[in-house]
C-alpha cells in the first residue's frame, strides 16, 4: 500500500483481542482504546540480539533496533520487512477473519509467520522470541494477578495466560478490556515457552529457531462471549464442541491454505475497488475490513440462531446499535448477509419484548458484551426495568434504517424468508415513517453528535427510502396493491422534499427552514442502488456540484454547521456521482485524511476536513460503509 495507515493492524479478532501499532515501525502496541497492549519481538542472529517489535524495557536500552525497510498491508495481513547487517527479516501478521465464512469470522486465532534471507551470503543461526504481557488478559495492568499454564497441543508448543479471578462476562462498557478467559501463545513444531516478567509485568513468551520459517499463533478463549437476555452465549466456533486446543492445532496445520484464501479475497476486493473507483479507494477498503470484522462477536443463541453483536467502539460501547449496523451493512450485503441478519435478530428480539412498548425501532440492545435491552437514553431502576428518555431517541432514523436493511437483504438474497417472521413489526415502523417522516420533528439522527435538528432533509430522505424499501418488501410478499400505493407515497414524499428543500444553486438544504445550507444526502444512495427513480438526475447532479464547492483538503463537511465529516457518509455521498472522476475526487480526499492524520489510531470515522484531525471515534464498524460503491457493480 502507498497509504500510511493511521494505525497498523497487528492482531485483530474481536473487540477485546485487538492489537495495533500507533506508528509504522512497530515501536509500541496498543488496544484500539489506546491502552497499552504490550507485545515484544526479539530476533537473535548468531547470538546477537535485535529488537523489532514493541517498546524496549530499561534493561534492553543497549539492544540494537532492526531497521524497518518496508511495511505493507492487505485485507487480512500486515507484512513488515526489517534488516540488519547479516539478514533481512520478514514478519507476516495475519488475522484470517474471512467475512464470507462464518467459522473463520469467529475463530479467535491469529498468525505471525517469520522468515529471513541472508544479506552477506553466509549461513546464520536465527531465532525469534515473542513476549506477550498481562495487559492482554486484564482490564489494566496490575489488576489482580495473572497466571500462566503450559498446554498440550499436538504439533504446537504452547502456553496460556489468564487472570486468577475468572469473573466471566463480569463487566461491560466502552473503555474496558477483557479480564476473563485465556490468551494462548504458541509456535508450530518445536519451540520453547515460559512465563516471565517483562517491563514490570507478568508475561508469557514463545521462542523458536527459524530455518525456512517459524509460525507463531496467538489465540484467545473467552470461555463465554456475550450475555444475551440473561443467558451467557458461546462463540460460533464452539458450536460443535471444539476446544481452543483443537482450534489452535487445526489453525497450525492449515496456515498455507488459509493464507491463500485470505490473499485471494484481498485481491478480489482490490480488483473490484479499482474497477469501481481507484487504487486509493482500494487501499481504504483493504485497510478497513479487519477493523470492521474485529468490532463484532459472532455467537449462537439457545435456538441455534446466529447473532453478530457489534460494539459501538469509542462512543458509548453500546451493543447491536442500529445506526451503527446501517452504515456498516454494505460489506455484509456484498459478501455474507447471514452476518447482517445476525445483527438484526437481537433488535427484533428486543422489539418484541414487553419492555419495548414504542411504535418505533430501538437504537441499540445493550452495552457490550451485555445484550439485555436499550442503553442509549435509558435509565434502569432497581428492578432493571427500563425508563426511556424519549427526547434521546432517534425514531425516524431507526425505523428507516431497519426497513432499508430488511429490503436490502431481500435484494441481496433474492429471497423473502428472513423478513416474513418480522413483517408485522416492519408494518408498524413503516406507519411511523408515513406519519412523521416527511417533516421530522426536533429529534436526533445517527449524527447525534451534531445535536437535535427539526425539519432535517437528509432524515426525510431516509424516511422516503424506508417507505420505498417497505414497498419492495411487499412486492416480494405478493401484496402488490399496497406495494404500489407505498411506492407512490414515496414518490410524492420525494417530490415534496425537493420542493421544500431546494436551494437556488440546484443543491438541497440541511433543513427545510435553513435556505442556502447544505448537507451530505447520503441516505439517497438507495434510490440509485434500487433504481427506484424517486429523485431525478438533477437532484444528484446538484448535490455533487455543491459538494465539490464545499470541499476542503480532506473531505466534504457533513453539513453547513461544522468543518467535520464522517468517512462512511462521505463515500456514500460520493457514490451519488454519475462521473467516476467525481467519485474519485471525494474519495481521494478521504485517503489523504487517513494518510496524514496526526492521531495514530484505528481509522476514525469522525474528523475535521480542514486538518484531517480526528474529532472522536475510532475502530468503529461503520467503516463497512466504505464498501458501498462496490454494490453498484
pLDDT digits (tens, 9 = 90+) for 237-286: 999 999 999 999 999 999 999 999 999 999 999 999 999 999 999 999 99
**pLDDT value at position 57?**
84
* Fold assignment, 8-263: Beta-galactosidase; Chain A, domain 5 (2.70.98)
Which residue is listed with cell 524496549?
56
3-state secondary structure 159-204: EEEEECCCCCCCCCCCCCCCCCCEEEEEEECCCEEEEEEECCEEEE
Distance, in Å, from the CA atom of 166 to the CA atom of 178, rounded to the nearest integer, reads 10
Looking at residue 320, what is its pLDDT? Answer: 98
Low pLDDT (below 50) residues in the chain = none
SS3 state at 210: coil
Report the pLDDT value the prediction gives residue 384, as an integer from 0 to 100. 67
Which residues, other chains included, contact 506 with Cβ-Cβ below 8 Å and sequence gap of 6+?
538, 541, 542, 545, 546
pLDDT of residue 383: 66
The predicted pLDDT at position 61 comes to: 85
Can you give the pLDDT at residue 621? 98
* 100-157 per-position pLDDT tens digit: 999 999 999 999 999 999 999 999 999 999 999 999 999 999 999 999 999 999 999 9
- The pLDDT, as a whole number, for residue 590 is 98
Domain spans of the chain? 8-263
Separation of alpha carbons 444 and 395, rounded Å: 8
Amino acid at each position: 500500500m502507498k497509504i500510511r495507515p493511521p494505525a497498523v493492524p497487528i492482531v485483530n479478532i474481536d473487540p477485546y483481542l485487538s492489537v495495533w501499532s500507533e506508528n509504522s515501525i512497530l515501536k509500541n502496541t496498543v488496544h484500539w482504546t489506546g491502552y497499552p497492549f504490550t507485545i515484544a519481538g526479539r530476533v537473535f542472529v548468531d547470538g546477537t540480539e535485535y529488537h523489532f517489535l514493541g517498546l524496549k524495557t530499561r534493561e534492553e536500552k543497549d539492544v540494537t533496533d532492526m531497521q524497518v525497510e518496508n511495511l505493507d498491508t492487505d485485507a487480512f495481513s500486515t507484512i513488515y520487512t526489517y534488516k540488519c547487517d547479516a539478514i533481512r527479516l520478514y514478519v507476516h501478521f495475519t488475522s484470517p477473519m474471512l467475512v464470507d465464512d462464518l467459522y473463520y469470522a469467529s475463530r479467535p486465532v491469529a498468525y505471525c509467520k517469520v522468515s529471513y534471507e541472508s544479506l552477506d551470503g553466509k549461513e546464520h543461526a536465527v531465532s525469534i522470541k515473542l513476549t506477550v504481557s498481562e495487559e492482554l488478559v486484564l482490564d489494566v495492568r496490575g489488576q489482580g494477578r495473572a497466571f500462566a499454564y503450559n498446554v498440550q497441543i499436538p504439533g504446537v508448543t504452547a502456553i496460556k495466560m489468564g487472570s486468577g479471578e475468572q469473573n466471566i462476562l463480569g463487566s461491560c462498557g466502552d473503555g474496558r478490556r477483557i479480564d476473563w478467559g485465556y490468551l494462548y501463545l504458541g509456535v508450530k513444531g518445536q519451540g520453547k515457552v515460559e512465563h516471565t516478567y517483562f517491563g514490570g509485568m507478568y508475561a508469557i513468551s514463545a521462542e523458536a529457531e527459524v530455518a525456512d520459517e517459524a509460525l507463531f499463533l496467538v489465540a484467545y478463549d473467552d470461555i463465554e462471549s456475550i450475555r444475551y437476555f440473561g443467558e451467557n452465549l458461546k462463540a460460533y466456533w464452539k458450536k460443535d464442541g471444539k476446544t481452543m486446543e483443537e482450534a489452535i492445532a487445526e489453525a497450525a496445520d492449515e496456515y498455507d491454505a488459509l493464507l491463500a484464501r485470505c490473499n485471494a479475497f484481498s485481491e478480489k476486493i482490490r480488483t473490484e475497488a479499482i474497477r469501481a473507483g481507484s487504487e486509493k479507494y482500494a487501499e481504504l477498503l483493504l485497510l478497513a475490513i479487519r477493523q470492521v470484522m474485529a468490532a463484532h462477536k459472532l455467537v449462537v443463541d439457545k435456538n441455534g440462531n446466529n447473532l453478530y453483536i457489534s460494539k459501538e467502539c469509542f462512543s458509548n460501547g453500546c451493543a447491536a446499535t442500529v445506526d451503527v449496523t446501517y452504515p456498516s451493512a454494505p460489506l455484509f450485503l456484498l459478501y455474507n448477509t447471514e452476518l447482517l441478519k445476525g445483527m438484526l435478530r437481537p433488535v427484533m428480539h428486543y422489539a418484541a419484548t414487553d419492555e419495548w412498548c414504542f411504535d418505533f425501532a430501538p437504537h441499540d440492545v445493550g452495552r457490550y458484551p451485555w445484550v439485555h435491552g436499550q442503553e442509549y437514553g435509558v435509565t434502569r431502576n432497581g428492578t432493571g426495568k427500563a425508563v426511556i428518555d424519549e427526547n434521546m431517541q432517534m425514531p425516524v432514523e431507526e425505523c428507516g434504517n431497519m426497513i432499508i436493511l430488511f429490503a436490502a437483504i431481500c435484494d441481496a438474497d433474492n429471497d423473502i424468508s428472513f423478513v416474513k417472521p418480522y413483517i408485522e413489526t416492519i408494518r408498524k415502523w413503516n406507519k411511523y415513517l408515513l406519519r412523521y417522516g416527511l417533516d421530522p420533528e426536533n429529534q436526533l439522527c445517527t449524527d447525534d453528535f451534531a445535536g437535535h435538528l427539526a425539519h432535517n432533509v437528509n432524515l426525510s430522505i431516509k424516511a422516503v427510502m424506508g417507505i420505498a424499501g417497505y414497498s419492495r418488501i411487499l412486492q416480494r410478499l405478493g401484496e402488490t396493491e399496497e406495494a404500489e400505493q407505498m411506492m407512490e407515497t414515496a414518490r410524492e414524499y420525494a417530490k415534496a422534499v425537493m420542493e421544500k428543500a431546494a436551494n437556488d444553486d440546484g443543491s438541497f438544504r440541511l433543513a427545510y427552514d435553513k435556505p442556502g445550507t447544505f448537507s451530505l444526502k447520503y441516505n439517497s444512495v438507495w434510490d440509485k442502488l434500487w433504481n427506484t427513480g424517486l429523485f431525478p438526475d438533477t437532484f444528484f447532479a446538484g448535490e455533487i456540484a455543491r459538494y465539490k464547492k464545499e470541499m476542503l483538503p480532506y473531505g466534504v463537511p457533513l453539513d453547513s454547521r461544522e468543518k467535520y465529516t464522517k468517512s462512511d457518509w462521505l463515500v456514500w455521498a460520493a457514490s451519488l456521482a454519475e462521473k467516476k472522476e467525481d467519485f474519485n475526487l471525494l474519495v481521494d480526499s478521504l485517503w489523504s485524511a487517513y494518510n496524514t492524520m496526526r492521531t495514530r489510531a484505528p481509522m476514525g470515522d469522525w474528523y475535521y476536513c480542514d486538518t484531517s484531525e480526528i474529532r472522536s471515534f475510532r475502530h468503529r464498524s461503520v467503516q463497512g460503509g466504505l464498501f458501498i460503491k462496490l454494490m453498484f457493480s
